[in-house]
Amino acid sequence: MPFTVSINQENNSAGTADVALTLSPTDALFSPANLVPGESLGSPMLNVSNSGTVDSYYFIFADWSPGGTTTPPQAQILADRLNLTITVSPATEIYNGSIADLKEQPPGGRILEFENEEDLIFVVSLPQTSNNLVEGLDLEVDLVFVAQSSPIS
């Protein structure tokens, strides 16, 4: 026999908040063509601004795919080997790992208070141990920023 339970709450109210980030610049940060093992390439700063109405937590993901004539398995090999370091200026590292592993970083999110901003520095490198396996491979990478009003627990 089905039943329904209901509770009436009086004098409660709900509000709304706007969670939003603005990124600048919006064009490509770098294009590391012909990176050789042991080499690294930095980017100009990426400004992340809290343009919402509340403090926000943001997370960064890498959305990558094969470029040019590179096949998906070859792209996986390159994404596993390319290292990305993300630092908040001047010197707080929030990620250091492969492009393939850049998912929901930093862990728990990074708080950016209402109306504040910060500059991120990205450095991509190809470790010396990468050998010729990645020679001539091409990878397209989009950095995806997700914001929410609470951390992931």
Among 55, 71, 67, CA closest to 20: 55
Task: Let me know if residue 5 belongs to a domain.
Answer: no
Domain presence at residue 140 = yes
Beta pairing, strands 56-66 & 46-50: unpaired
Cα separation, 97 vs 104, whole angstroms: 13
Two tokens at 113?
């208070």
- When pLDDT is cut at 50, 70 and 90, the band that residue 5 belongs to is low
Kindly state the percentage of the chain with pLDDT values over 90. 65
- Domain assignment present for 65: yes
Domain-located, residue 76:
yes
Q: How far apart are CA 64 and CA 78, in angstroms?
A: 10
Domain count, the chain: 1
Q: Is the pLDDT of residue 63 over 70?
A: yes
The CATH number for 108's domain is 2.60.120
**Averaged over 16-40, what is the pLDDT?**
86
| Structural domain containing residue 114 | 21-148
Is residue 6 one of the residues assigned to a domain?
no
> Does 7 reside within a domain?
no
51 lies in some domain: yes
Amino acid at 113: E
pLDDT tens, position by position, 101-136? 999 999 989 999 999 999 999 999 999 988 788 888
pLDDT of residue 6: 63
Q: Is the residue at 39 inside a domain?
A: yes
